[in-house]
Every structure is written in structure tokens, then in C-alpha cells.
A = this chain, B = another copy of it.
Amino acid sequence: MLALERPVPAIDTDDTCATSEADATASWWPSRFGADDQVGTLNEISPAAIVAAARLVRQGKVFDLGRVLDSSVPHFPGRFWQQTLVSNAHLNNSRRPEGTDSGWGRNEVNWLIELATGTFQIGTQLDGLNHLQIGDRFYNGYRACDIVEDWGTNKLGIETVPPILTRGVLVDVARYRGVARMNAGDVITVDELEAILRAQQTRVKAGDADIFHTGWGSLWENHELFNSGEPGIGMAVASWLVEHRVALTGADTWSYGAVPSEDPERPFLVPQTLNVKHGLFIMENLATEVIAEAGLTEFLFCLTHHKTRGSTGAVIAPAAVI
């Protein structure tokens, strides 16, 4: 904020927020990673895990788990994406010293840029721990009234998330069930998850990126059906992931966890619990079909993203590498 924007007394961090009923009984903070921690389960990715993950690269093949983002993608109410090409330089480069009709300088340089405007909670995305709340509480007990600034949040923003390299594990539930696509509301069970892992001889370890393929992503072009619900894990698998100290998880669905919810009175309980109580990161709209079709089960998972200050998410395209 500029020094000159003075009339309004500065916003400080005095503890003046209201506390809701939920707070009274809460016992899920401070986080086991420390009261000041902002990166949750990413702490589980040890140097040894990174080295081991890199060793999974034996063929030099890279798979792209991101979907292209434009104004036509399905989206949650209130979210949008617009981009406009900007070609002013084609017109005003001629006015620069050394400008000519064809560009600037004897090398006739010209350029295009674009102007993008939208919400980052759209397309293939990583949710920050400043996205979901229980009442007014985020991960580690942070409250909106403590961390909200006009430009984003001053804690837990997506810029606090480091580059992520770890072992990725694909759990192909659609294939296990013998379907191209699971149905909205279908709940993945612990028995299924364990059977799939046994079949592919994978033992989930601390720091893993566990990714679920449900086939729901095949509806991407059919907005109405795509948005009408989704298959996903339930609270039992959520607990399993926490117990196994997974670092992050994701699926080919617009949210994470079955919709309608197992408990219809508790919408989005799965991602809410993982994010808020456990600091476990979630990715949405992953193009899992790319690695499901190729039969990948374990791989080096890589994710680097735009570090925009205070954002609640990032538009991503992670890589699976073997």
C-alpha cells in the first residue's frame, strides 16, 4: 500500500474478530508442524523422498496433467476467465525514436502482450490453504479477519507454497471398477484404494502426491453434466490419506470428494477437512486420463506455479515424469 494512502488508519492485527460457536470446541490447531506453519503437509516431503522420486525418471517421458484455460471452461458460480490480446506496440512503436512503419529500430522489433482477468479458482488448479475455512478458521487457526487484505491474504497465500517435487502415485479407480467414468456421488472406499495399491504393488509413503482417476474429466466439454456433481473419496479415505501422511492429493474433478456429499448436511466436508484441519493440499481438474491411458502408477511429480502474492490458488499444469 502506498505511503500516501493515509486517511484510513492502518489495519493492524489486534485480535478483535468475532469467534463462532465452532471455535469453542476446536482442537485442531496449532498444527503439528508448528503454530506458525503455512505449508502444512508439504513438510512431509523429505530430501530423501525427492531423491527417490527423481530416480523414477528412467525413460525421460513427460506427461502434462493440466487442462488449457480459456473463457469456455466449466466453472463454479462467480468464477470466470477472460483474456484479451493487446497489440498496441504495433501502432505506437512507429512513434519511438528510430521507429519505422514496420517496428522499432532497424531490427523492426514488435511485440504482443495480453491482458488476463479472472479468478484463479478455475481450470486445473492448486488450492492454497487460504481458500477453505471452517467458520472463520483456516489451517492453523488463522482467521479471515486476521489475514484478509484488499489484495489477498497476508498469510497462507499461494506464494508461500514452494516448488513441489515428490513421488506421484496414480490410483485409477475407474479402471478398477471397470468403467470409463464413475458417477456423481460415487464414493471411493478404503478397501478399493488398498486393493488398487496392492494390485499395482505401490506402498503409499509420507510426502507422496496421491492422484485419483475417476473418468469424470471426460465430461469437461459438457458443462451441465460436469458441474452437476462428481465422484470422489469420502471421509474414510480422507482419514487414510492423513494417516499415511500424504503431502498432496488431487483428481479429475472440479472439487475434491464426492458431490453430493456423503453427509448431505455437510457440503465439501472432505476438502474442507483436509485443507483446514490437516493442511493437506488439493489439486482439481487434473488431466489424469493422460497418465491413466499410459498406465502410469508411480512417477516423479513436479509442480511449479505462479507466485502471485496472497492468492488463494494457482492455475497449474503439473508434470508426471517417468
CB distance from A79 to the nearest CB of B (A): 7
CB distance from A253 to the nearest CB of B (A): 10
A67-126: which have CB < 8 Å to B? Answer: 67-71, 74-88, 90-92, 94-121, 124
Q: Assess whether A246 is interfacial by the CB under 8 Å rule.
A: no
Say yes or no: B60 contacts A151, CB within 8 Å. no
Say yes or no: A16 contacts B83, CB within 8 Å. no
A136-156: which have CB < 8 Å to B? Answer: 136, 144-146, 148-153
A51-70: which have CB < 8 Å to B? Answer: 51, 54-55, 57-62, 64, 66-70
A305-B319 in contact given A20-B108, A113-B119, A151-B78 (Cβ < 8 Å): no
A306-B306 in contact given A59-B47, A85-B88, A90-B87 (Cβ < 8 Å): yes
Q: Assess whether A46 is interfacial by the CB under 8 Å rule.
A: yes
Give 26 A-B contacts (CB < 8 Å), ordered by A residue: A4-B74, A4-B227, A5-B75, A7-B229, A7-B259, A10-B96, A16-B95, A51-B57, A57-B165, A62-B165, A69-B308, A81-B308, A84-B84, A84-B115, A84-B119, A85-B310, A87-B87, A91-B145, A92-B145, A98-B265, A103-B134, A109-B269, A110-B136, A111-B131, A113-B313, A116-B311
Given contacts A109-B269, A116-B117, 7 further A-B contacts (CB under 8 A): A6-B224, A54-B54, A77-B150, A108-B133, A112-B153, A163-B319, A306-B306
